[in-house]
């Protein structure tokens, strides 16, 4: 039997915590946030204060606590170590996407979770975003039968050149960081497995060139049902960064119709006060705010009710593998074949 | 006054070019031949424009009054007709693609050169107002160095649905050289060559009969890396279903280091909503520009804006895309 409230601990109190997870954790009634950990004491302290919780800067001390779930919201390169240690100390894990920096690390994480009989969930938040859920639903109900899907996610990364996103050995670059959103999306929509990947990367901004990382990346992914996906990601889009806009472009060509989601055709509510604010409702948001809530609720429910999640760590590992292969492809200059995958498991909408 | 002979209404572009030629102050539609598909339409249009009607192009070419020809016959007959036109010293405006093969293209180019006639192959988008403006702005450095282009070059639906015309040859690879990608990709590729002022280093493509079950491909996607570093993604074919209210869909997303263009349509239009929504173009400067520039190249004895060599280069890229799709390899040009 589970305890009345899930005891949650959070590792990493930076961007994604403050933008998204914090607000959800405050709202959820069956959750008690026990502790925060961050290597920057000030950030952990601030978070702890908001939740009336304790805070730590040492992982061992943090993991000694009696916690049901650990949320890992740290830079990508730390995911594997933190997740494995958390699992080994008996905690379920919810980790931000990408699952890890490499698919080898992802494999170890999955193996550890299996060995410990604990859950490992990865925050593929696109799967919980109403827009993409509804379009997926329309594809089903109208029997669109997608054969080609092009999805672009373009933004201007608003961080300076010494920030971890720009370090390929910390984030994997845009092909990994945003890439896994689309590679997972394509598997989800096609319900089919990738067999071949072609990639072309570019280094456009000086932050990218200095760090030798791609900041604009195009992938063509062929699937075993004859479908083709085009994934395009960019950190170099020349929007003024202060608007924080995020450009989703989705074009689905199916045997029985076509669906387009193009931000220029969809409504935006922008606010200009003494300074520009992020739109409150806009297709220019990377994620609709309630997607994180739906995601975390779903994962917690999978723990309490011992349900299968709609997106597994295994899905996440494949998403990462596709992006890795795309990076290899751009280096090799040729498409790269992918190993046969297990059949895609069809899942219920949460 | 340049007297035009129109050879065939097999390609539906004839319906757009012929009135434009006729409206030009320096040209007239003098004769029309009814070779190939839609000869009944050719005959009807000859009456409408009070032009001489010839059953076949051979007689039209022998008519000494004809100065120039617009050839809209099925692609597989381009070589035969264009070479004969050159031999009869007619200047040639030849529908795209230039031919089925690069060798055929060479023969056409050689015949035109040998007989000292102009040869132009029209690709429309670069003659539209939005794209001409964009090109000027790129040249003026307004978006900085060009980095990425997404070009949509699509037709609304398989052309067999066009009313009143027999366009079944578009679904015959031996006659058209391919399907939806062959039909529409040359436009996007021309735009890319023109906008980048560079040439592709390599191309990877996926083209197939994916939507309608036709014997030819219906949609295709290609990614091209240019020598100057620009990466381009090209979406081409007949991917829009019958219910889509556009005709041509020619759109661009251009990204430079310091700005971007979102060209939502190269062909400005408005929409009429009744029982269904219908887009009507309010400006098609492209055909007028093409016809006028072709005429100017004759009168002023200079190269037309798109030469046979340019069209051959275009075809080489289209064929490389097909090869990439077939071999599942990246093709280095």
Residues A56 and A158 in one domain: no
Q: What is the CATH number of the domain that holds A85?
A: 3.40.50.720
- Render pLDDT for A97-146 as a digit per residue (tens, 0 to 9): 999 999 999 999 999 999 999 999 999 999 999 999 999 999 999 999 99
* Closest listed residue to residue A85, CA positions, set A60, A117, A58: A60
Q: Residue A202: list chain B partners with CB under 8 A.
A: 147-148, 229, 231
- Is residue A238's pLDDT more than 70? yes
- Cβ of residue B225 closer than 8 Å to a chain A Cβ: yes
DSSP string, B134-174: HHHHHHTTTT-SEEEEEEEEE-SS-GGGSTT---GGGG-HH
Q: What is the CATH number of the domain that holds A302?
A: 3.30.360.10
- Is residue B254's pLDDT more than 60? yes
Across A156-268, the runs of DSSP E, i.e. the strands, are 194-202, 216-223, 228-234, 246-254, 257-261
- Report whether A199 contacts A330 (CB < 8 A): yes
Angle in degrees, 0-180, between the axes of helices B180-196 and B308-327, rounded to the nearest 10 = 120
- Render pLDDT for B142-176 as a digit per residue (tens, 0 to 9): 999 999 999 999 987 665 656 688 999 999 999 99
Residues A304 and A196 in one domain: yes
Band of the pLDDT at A279, cuts 50, 70, 90? low
The minimum CA-CA distance between B212 and chain A, rounded to whole Å, is: 7
- Report whether B263 contacts B130 (CB < 8 A): yes
CB-based contacts of B62, cutoff 8 Å, min separation 6: B88
Q: Is residue A346 situated within a structural domain?
A: no
Put simply, the answer to whether A238 touches B206 (Cβ < 8 Å) is no
Put simply, the answer to whether B258 touches A258 (Cβ < 8 Å) is no
DSSP string, B81-104: HHHHHHHTT-EEEEPSSS-SSHHH
Mean pLDDT, rounded, of chain A: 91
Structural domain of A70: 6-124
CB-based contacts of B133, cutoff 8 Å, min separation 6: none
- Is residue A285's pLDDT more than 80? no
Among A128-132, A188-192, A337-341, B317-321, the range scoring the smallest mean pLDDT is A337-341
Residues A195 and A290 in one domain: yes
For CA atoms B100, B101, B103, B106, the dihedral sign is positive
Put simply, the answer to whether B223 touches A150 (Cβ < 8 Å) is no
Of A124, A157, A180, the domain-final residue: A124
Q: How many CB atoms lie within 10 A of CB A12?
A: 26
User: Which residue in chain A has the smallest CA separation from B225?
Assistant: A200
Q: Identify the three-state secondary structure at position A296.
A: helix
- Is residue A350's pLDDT more than 50? no
* Closest listed residue to residue A172, CA positions, set A88, A275, A99: A99
Q: Is residue A345 situated within a structural domain?
A: no
pTM of the model: 0.92
The mean pLDDT value for B245-263 works out to: 86
| ipTM of predicted complex | 0.90
Band of the pLDDT at B244, cuts 50, 70, 90? confident
Domain tally, chain A = 2
Residues A86 and A215 in one domain: no
The pLDDT value recorded for residue B181 is 97
- Report whether B75 contacts B53 (CB < 8 A): no
- Is residue A79's pLDDT more than 60? yes
Residue A242 per-residue DSSP state: G
Considering only residues 325 to 344 of chain A, which have any Cβ-Cβ distance to chain B shorter than 8 Å? 333-335
Residues A75 and A133 in one domain: no
Domain B125-286+315-332 belongs in CATH node 3.30.360.10:
yes
Please tell me the CATH code under which domain B2-117 is placed: 3.40.50.720
């Amino acid at each position: 039997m589970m305890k009345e409230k899930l005891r949650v601990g959070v590792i990493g109190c930076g961007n994604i915590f403050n933008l998204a997870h914090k607000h959800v954790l405050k709202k959820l009634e069956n959750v008690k946030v026990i502790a925060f950990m961050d290597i920057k004491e000030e950030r952990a302290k601030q978070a702890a204060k908001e939740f009336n919780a304790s805070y730590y800067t040492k992982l061992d001390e943090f993991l000694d606590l009696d916690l049901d779930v650990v949320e890992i919201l740290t830079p990508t390169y730390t995911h594997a170590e933190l997740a494995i240690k958390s699992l080994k100390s008996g905690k379920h894990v919810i980790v931000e996407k990408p699952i890890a920096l490499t698919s080898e690390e992802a494999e170890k994480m999955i193996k550890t979770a299996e060995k410990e009989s604990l859950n490992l969930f990865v925050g593929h938040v696109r799967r919980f975003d109403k827009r993409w859920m509804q379009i997926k639903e329309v594809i089903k109900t109208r029997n669109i039968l997608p054969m080609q899907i092009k999805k672009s996610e373009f933004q201007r990364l608003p961080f300076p050149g010494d920030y971890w996103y720009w370090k390929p050995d910390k984030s994997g670059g845009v092909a990994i960081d945003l890439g896994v959103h689309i590679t997972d999306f394509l598997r989800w929509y096609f319900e089919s497995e990738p067999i071949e990947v072609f990639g072309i990367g570019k280094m456009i901004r000086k932050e990218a060139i200095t760090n030798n990382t791609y900041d604009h990346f195009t992938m063509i992914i062929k699937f075993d049902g004859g479908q083709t996906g085009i994934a395009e990601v960019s950190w170099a889009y020349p929007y003024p960064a202060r608007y924080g806009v995020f450009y989703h472009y989705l074009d689905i060509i199916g045997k029985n119709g076509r669906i387009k989601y193009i931000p220029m055709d969809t409504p935006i509510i922008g606010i200009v006060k003494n300074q520009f604010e992020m739109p409150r409702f806009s297709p220019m948001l990377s994620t609709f705010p309630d997607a994180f809530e739906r995601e975390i609720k779903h994962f917690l429910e999978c723990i309490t009710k011992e349900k299968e999640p709609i997106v597994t760590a295994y899905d996440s590992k494949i998403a990462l593998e596709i992006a890795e292969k795309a990076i290899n492809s751009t280096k090799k200059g040729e498409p790269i074949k992918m190993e046969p995958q297990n059949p895609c498991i069809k899942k219920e909408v949460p | 006054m340049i007297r035009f002979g129109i050879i065939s209404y097999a390609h539906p572009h004839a319906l757009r070019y012929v009135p434009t030629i006729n409206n030009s102050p320096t040209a007239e539609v003098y004769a029309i031949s009814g070779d190939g598909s839609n000869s009944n339409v050719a005959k009807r249009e000859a009456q409408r424009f009070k032009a001489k009607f010839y059953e076949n192009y051979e007689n039209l070419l022998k008519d000494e009054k004809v100065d120039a020809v617009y050839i809209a016959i099925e692609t597989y007959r381009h070589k035969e007709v264009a070479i004969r036109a050159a031999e009869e010293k007619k200047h040639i405006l030849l529908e795209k693609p230039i031919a089925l093969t690069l060798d055929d293209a060479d023969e056409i180019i050689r015949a035109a050169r040998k007989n000292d006639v102009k040869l132009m192959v029209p690709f429309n988008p670069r003659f539209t107002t939005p794209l001409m403006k964009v090109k000027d702005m790129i040249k003026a450095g307004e978006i900085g160095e060009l980095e990425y282009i997404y070009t949509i070059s699509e037709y609304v639906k398989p052309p067999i649905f066009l009313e009143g015309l027999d366009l079944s040859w578009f679904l015959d690879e031996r006659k058209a050289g391919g399907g939806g990608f062959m039909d529409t990709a040359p436009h996007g590729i021309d735009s890319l060559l023109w906008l980048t002022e560079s040439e592709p280093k390599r191309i990877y493509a996926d083209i197939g009969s994916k939507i309608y079950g036709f014997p030819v491909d219906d949609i295709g996607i290609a990614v091209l890396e240019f020598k100057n570093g620009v990466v381009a993604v090209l979406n081409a074919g007949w991917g829009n279903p019958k219910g889509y209210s556009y005709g041509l869909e020619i759109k661009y997303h251009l990204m430079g280091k310091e700005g971007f263009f979102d060209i939502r349509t190269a062909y400005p239009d408005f929409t009429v909503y009744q029982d269904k929504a219908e887009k009507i173009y309010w400006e098609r400067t492209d055909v007028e520009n093409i016809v006028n520039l072709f005429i100017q190249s004759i009168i002023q004895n200079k190269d037309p804006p798109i030469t046979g060599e340019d069209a051959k280069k275009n075809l080489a890229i289209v064929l490389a895309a097909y090869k990439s799709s077939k071999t599942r390899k990246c093709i280095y040009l």
